[in-house]
Chains A and B, each alone.
Chain A
């Protein structure tokens, strides 16, 4: 019971942190304190103040406004990535897990090979082939995330497919596809959902890393990762330039991982 209460507390704290950040990201669609692209020579590398709570960057752009739009890009990419990964991973995993046989053998062999690549590496290769930009990053990371979801769902479906309720559904004459998607998959959902939260964080990390390397999101889309790489040149004179985007990234990951602990 104590464990349970602690887990609920963690979940609440995580949900509050993630909720605030999500709100900031959504808000940036309608309003930011300043135009995130507007340069102002007078406030170049200005420090933290009431007018600019997170200071200004090397072009005098308001960092808070840029963090808000960058956060939005990050969230959009992470959601898109996990969405693609979970959707196709679930389909591939449930079909191979349910039917088994040669089909399963072949698909899983290719799957294992893809799993051998670290996701970031796979995504880097794909972006180097497709070119950068928001949508290509979603596509590349999404594809890179499919194998791990497929493996996980396959294991769960294999565990469920000989349980009584599935046999029962089959005896009542349900077709294979109906058994998979109507009877088995809903029962696998909790496991998929907890992987979705972990996957979300991995996607945030991967996107930030790629954008940091300059092969991810391209201007004019703001990105927390690219802000960090730009800020590195001004680390001594304007440490806040690197600190705030980085801390927001940390909070986002922390919030979501606290939620996933439950």
Chain B
């Protein structure tokens, strides 16, 4: 891979991150309603209001505030919470691993379901299983994750008694218990995405199978298996990688809602309670961090993409 290309991409990445941070900060600066009034109530004396504004640094000009706020991302404190008077970093500390574990689990489930199933359905396209699965997939895609979450709670918790609703186990207490509790939420997030990924992979394999190089590979005496795994899959997987990348970022947003369904104390719950408390520094920090995460993921996908497909590499670097 061309080094100048990566460097150019990195600079554009930095620029995008900066622009993202700026847009978020701008959005929160033009909010109608002053956080100080919210904190002290409307009855506060002007002196008290002025003192608090100074303490929070709200009396400084916009750009100065923006730069000092950016600084909190460099030193890793992410600013201070209005409501709890601690750094946002300390509020995030125990919660990030929870949300991340859940998202990664869901992602692995999507891979484990969609790749074998997509290949199988493509190989048996038009058969009975394929027709049934098309209907099943379409139906699964229509289930909002929070509703399937409720249904899973009902089935596994209240009917089968295999799961305690609301019985979240912290990973500091028991890792197996923690992972066990996260299985159902991860399934709820993964189901519709797995159905989409299966359809995507199936369509992509079927499209590739019609290519000339496949005929050539057959004419050289390859078996169907040999053609599929040796030639087709490598090409068919490329659009699926893009889709999975988009899915990963989508799942982060999905986990905000799912955490609420299963009472999991992750980033999403912190975000929702901070929105309810009007604790803007926390909301700002979480939003920016999530956006950073999405942008960096996209960047990584772009690079992976290039490693997998030499055609893109040569086409765009010229």
For B19, give its contact among A113, A121, A124 (CB under 8 Å): A113
Q: Are B150 and A232 in contact (CB under 8 A)?
A: yes
Q: Are B275 and A235 in contact (CB under 8 A)?
A: no
How many Å lie between the Cα of A212 and that of B272 in the bound state? Answer: 11
For B150, give its contact among A110, A215, A228, A254 (CB under 8 Å): A228
Measured between beta carbons, the chain A residues less than 8 angstroms from B19 are 109-110, 113
Q: Output the nearest chain B residue to A225 by Cβ-Cβ distance.
A: B146
Measured between beta carbons, the chain B residues less than 8 angstroms from A229 are 260
Does B257 make an interface contact (CB < 8 A)?
yes
How many Å lie between the Cα of A128 and that of B7 in the bound state? Answer: 37
With A213-B272, A215-B275 known to touch, is A117 a contact of B291 (CB < 8 Å)? yes
Interface SS of B by simple majority: helix
How many Å lie between the Cα of A212 and that of B254 in the bound state? Answer: 12
How many Å lie between the Cα of A47 and that of B150 in the bound state? Answer: 19
How many Å lie between the Cα of A109 and that of B19 in the bound state? Answer: 9
Residues of B in contact (CB 8 Å), total 44
Q: Are A228 and B31 in contact (CB under 8 A)?
A: no
Does B158 make an interface contact (CB < 8 A)?
yes
Q: Are A121 and B253 in contact (CB under 8 A)?
A: yes
Measured between beta carbons, the chain A residues less than 8 angstroms from B162 are none
How many Å lie between the Cα of A121 and that of B283 in the bound state? Answer: 11
Measured between beta carbons, the chain B residues less than 8 angstroms from A58 are none
Measured between beta carbons, the chain A residues less than 8 angstroms from B32 are 129
Measured between beta carbons, the chain B residues less than 8 angstroms from A157 are none
For A113, give its contact among B20, B144, B146 (CB under 8 Å): B20
With A125-B27, A239-B154 known to touch, is A117 a contact of B142 (CB < 8 Å)? no
Measured between beta carbons, the chain A residues less than 8 angstroms from B24 are 125
Q: Are B272 and A242 in contact (CB under 8 A)?
A: no
Does B290 make an interface contact (CB < 8 A)?
yes
Chain B residues in contact with chain A, CB under 8 A? 16, 19-20, 23-24, 27-28, 31-32, 138-139, 141-144, 146-147, 150-151, 153-154, 158, 165, 249-250, 252-254, 256-257, 260-261, 271-272, 275-276, 278, 283, 287, 290-291, 294-295, 298
Task: Jot down 30 A-B pairs with beta carbons below 8 A, ordered by A.
Answer: A110-B19, A112-B16, A113-B16, A113-B19, A116-B16, A116-B295, A118-B253, A120-B253, A121-B253, A124-B256, A125-B27, A125-B283, A127-B275, A128-B275, A208-B144, A208-B146, A212-B260, A213-B256, A215-B275, A215-B276, A228-B147, A232-B261, A235-B150, A250-B143, A250-B144, A250-B147, A254-B138, A254-B139, A257-B142, A258-B138
Closest 9 CB pairs of A and B: A118-B253, A254-B142, A246-B147, A128-B275, A253-B142, A120-B253, A209-B257, A116-B294, A250-B142
